[in-house]
Amino acid sequence: MPAVAKLAPQETVFFLCDVQTRFKNAIFGFDELVLTINKMLKIAKVLEIPVVVTEQNPKGLGNTTPNIDLPSLGPLLIANIEKGLFSMMTPEVKALLHERPQIKSVVLFGIESHVCVLQSALDLIEAGYNVHVIADGVSSCNKEEVPFALARIRQSGGYITTSESAAFQLQRALFIANYGEACSDSSVPGDAGVSGFKLFSNIIKEEKDNTVRTSQKLLQYRAVL
């Protein structure tokens, strides 16, 4: 794995792990978690990043909460998979990744941090993927579990980031792909020359209050050990 693993839209897939209806009253900061996830899905649409969703035992735990806007993804939602394993690396997901050899990075968010998210991250890292976990996009029933799970992922070679940081990394990579590294500083001010940057910028502005809310709720206890 490289010392620096930068995110690029054409090499990235988003993984949404098990944010289901029965967890609403159990997970710390569930409403804020949903806000972050919907922001990430908006980013996926603008940057054309595919999304994989899993649901743990949906007969018992319900489907993905309807407050998460999966229908808006259209064909970018490449899989919505029922699973019994804790890890998202089911045979179906492994097959999807095998069919997409261009994918090098997985941006991971969902629940629970110390169970399904952690096991998914470790399996993905072991399989050779660069795993970027969204710190304001994961949670657990007990908030005290979260920093230990994030630390375990980082110790294993994963990357801990935030929704806004990951979004800007992806947007910058798109800029460089269109204009080249030489144009990334002064020749095209502010990366604003990228096609679609206005849509991206609008999302960041629209989500400003939600970003503050989710950061205050979900990042307060999440200094990575």
Catalytic option among 116, 123, 136, 191: 116
Sheet with strand 130-139: strands edge to edge: 77-83, 51-56, 12-17, 105-111, 130-139, 159-161
- Angle at 108 (CA atoms; ends 19, 155), nearest 5 degrees: 125
The whole-angstrom separation of Cα 217 and Cα 30 is 10
The whole-angstrom separation of Cα 129 and Cα 80 is 20
SS3 label, residue 43: helix
User: Phi and psi for 169 in degrees, rounded to 5?
Assistant: -60, -45
Cβ atoms < 10 Å from Cβ of 153: 26
SS3 label, residue 88: coil
The whole-angstrom separation of Cα 219 and Cα 136 is 6
Catalytic option among 39, 42, 83, 217: 83
Q: Which residue has the tokens 């050779």?
A: 128
SS3 label, residue 15: strand
Amino acid in position 164: E
Active site residue 123: no
Task: Indicate the length of the chain as a whole number.
Answer: 225
Task: Decide: 136 and 39 in contact? Cβ < 8 Å.
Answer: no
Active site residue 116: yes
Catalytic option among 17, 18, 39, 191: 18
Q: Which residues are catalytic?
A: 18, 83, 116
